[in-house]
């Protein structure tokens, strides 16, 4: 059993527990459930924005603790001010020290799209994402069947949530395409063993239909790579660890974007 299998097994137990703790009705009573969500595409393409999806992440299975001092409200506010097109917020606690309320804290602190980054396997999590104040959900092809992707993406669109599909290889991409997706992200990190290479994005770029926003995720640590990815057709660039490993992630992003 690799790390991804362990995460999913744990997630199944977690979701069933959460359904008992907070009912669907309670989720729908959230102050954010009926808010109008931001358009992921509009913010990615806005000329005053950078295309960067700046991530708030305290820990990862591969790196351990990255930054457990930073406050999500401060970091996401600074990311937005530095030109982020969206913020990605980890909500898995067991493996990433994320908290669901981190999404809500980020929502209160910013006026840009918020991606709830988690291992989505159940309709409950999609509804929960909306109730927390998220604008975008992540669907990971490696842990979902085409039917599950279609179902979860369809539910998300009915809630006016944007949908980012994450793939790691051509097989995942070809079997997972769905009309309810807004963006397709190429994860440069292999979730089975957490090795990284940005070449993965360049390899898959031409295979992603142009109707979808193209996102490169992970292994981006310099602006030259972003320029090369833009030339290859990518619209968005998810960066987390490169900023979060610094004492002041917001300042790290401000400095980084000077090179764009």
Q: Which backbone phi and psi does 184 adopt, to 5 degrees?
A: -120, 125
**Which is catalytic among the residues 201, 218, 235, 242?**
218
**Which is catalytic among the residues 14, 128, 172, 217?**
217
Active site residue 218: yes
**Which is catalytic among the residues 187, 188, 216, 242?**
187
Active site residue 57: yes
Cβ atoms of 124 and 151 within 8 Å: the answer is: no
Q: In a 3-state reduction of DSSP, which class is residue 183?
A: strand
**Which is catalytic among the residues 14, 55, 172, 241?**
55
**Which is catalytic among the residues 57, 77, 150, 214?**
57
Active site residue 179: no
- Are β-strands 64-65 and 59-60 bridged in parallel, bridged antiparallel, or unpaired? antiparallel
**Which is catalytic among the residues 59, 77, 100, 117?**
117
**Which is catalytic among the residues 128, 166, 172, 241?**
166
Question: Among 33, 101, 40, which Cα is nearest to 71's?
Answer: 101
Active site residue 203: no
C-alpha dihedral sign at 24, 5, 53, 257: positive
Active site residue 39: no
Nearest 5°: CA angle at 56, between 55 and 58? 130
Active site residue 166: yes
Active site residue 217: yes
Strand partners, 163: 137
Catalytic positions, please? 55, 57, 117, 166, 187, 217-218
């Amino acid at each position: 059993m690799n790390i991804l299998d362990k995460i999913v097994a744990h997630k199944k137990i977690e979701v069933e527990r959460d359904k008992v703790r907070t009912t669907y009705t309670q989720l729908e009573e959230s102050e954010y459930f009926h808010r109008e969500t931001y358009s992921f595409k509009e913010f990615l393409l806005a000329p005053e924005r950078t295309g960067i999806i700046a991530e708030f992440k305290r820990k990862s299975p591969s790196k351990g603790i990255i930054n457990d001092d930073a406050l999500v409200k401060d970091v996401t506010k600074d990311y937005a001010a530095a030109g982020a097109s969206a913020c990605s917020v980890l909500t898995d606690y067991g493996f990433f020290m994320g908290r669901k309320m981190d999404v809500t804290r980020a929502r209160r602190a910013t006026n840009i799209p918020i991606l709830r980054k988690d291992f989505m396997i159940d309709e409950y999590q999609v509804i929960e994402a909306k109730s927390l104040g998220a604008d975008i959900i992540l669907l990971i092809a490696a842990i979902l069947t085409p039917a599950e992707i279609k179902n979860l993406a369809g539910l998300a669109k009915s809630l006016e949530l944007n949908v980012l599909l994450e793939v790691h290889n051509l097989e995942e991409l070809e079997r997972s395409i769905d009309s309810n997706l807004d963006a397709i992200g190429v994860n440069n990190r292999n979730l089975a063993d957490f090795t990284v290479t940005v070449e993965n994005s360049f390899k898959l770029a031409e295979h992603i239909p142009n109707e979808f926003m193209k996102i490169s995720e992970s292994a981006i640590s310099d602006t030259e790579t972003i320029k090369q990815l833009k030339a290859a057709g990518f619209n968005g660039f998810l960066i987390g660890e490169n900023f979060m490993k610094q004492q002041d992630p917001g300042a790290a992003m401000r400095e980084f974007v000077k090179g764009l």
